[in-house]
Amino acid sequence: MFIVGMSLVFSFRRHKEQETSQAGLFKTILRRTVILFALGLFLNGFPYYHLSMIRIPGVLQRIALGYFFGSLLFLWTSTRVQVVVAVTILVGYWLLMMHVPVPGFGMGDLSKEGNLAAYIDRWMFHGHMYRPVYDPEGFLSTFPSIVSVLAGIWTVLYALKDSPAATLRRLCVLGVLCLALGIGWNFIFPINKALWTSSFVLVTTGLALLCFALLYEGVDVRGWKNWGKPFEALGQNAIAAYVLHIVFLKIQNLIHIPRPDGSPGNLRFYITDHLFAPRLSSESASLAYASVYTVFWIVVFRALARRKIILKSRPLGLDGLGPKVDFVIFLQRLRNSHPVYFS
Q: What is the pLDDT of residue 178?
A: 98
Q: What is the pLDDT of residue 341?
A: 38
DSSP string, 76-91: HS-HHHHHHHHHHHHH
Extract the runs of DSSP E, i.e. beta strands, from 28-128. none
Q: What is the pLDDT of residue 327?
A: 46
Q: What is the pLDDT of residue 320?
A: 38
Contact yes or no for 88/25 (Cβ under 8 A): no
**Phi, psi of 117, rounded to the nearest 5 degrees:** -60, -45
Q: What is the pLDDT of residue 336?
A: 58
Those residues of the chain that have pLDDT short of 70 are 16-17, 312-343
d(CA 175, CA 153): 15
Extract the runs of DSSP E, i.e. beta strands, from the chain. 310-312, 324-326
Query: Is the peptide bond between 47 and the residue preceding it cis, with omega within 30 degrees of 0?
Result: yes
- Residues 6-39 have pLDDT tens digits of 999 988 887 766 777 888 899 999 999 999 999 9
Q: What is the pLDDT of residue 314?
A: 47
d(CA 113, CA 119): 7
d(CA 183, CA 181): 6
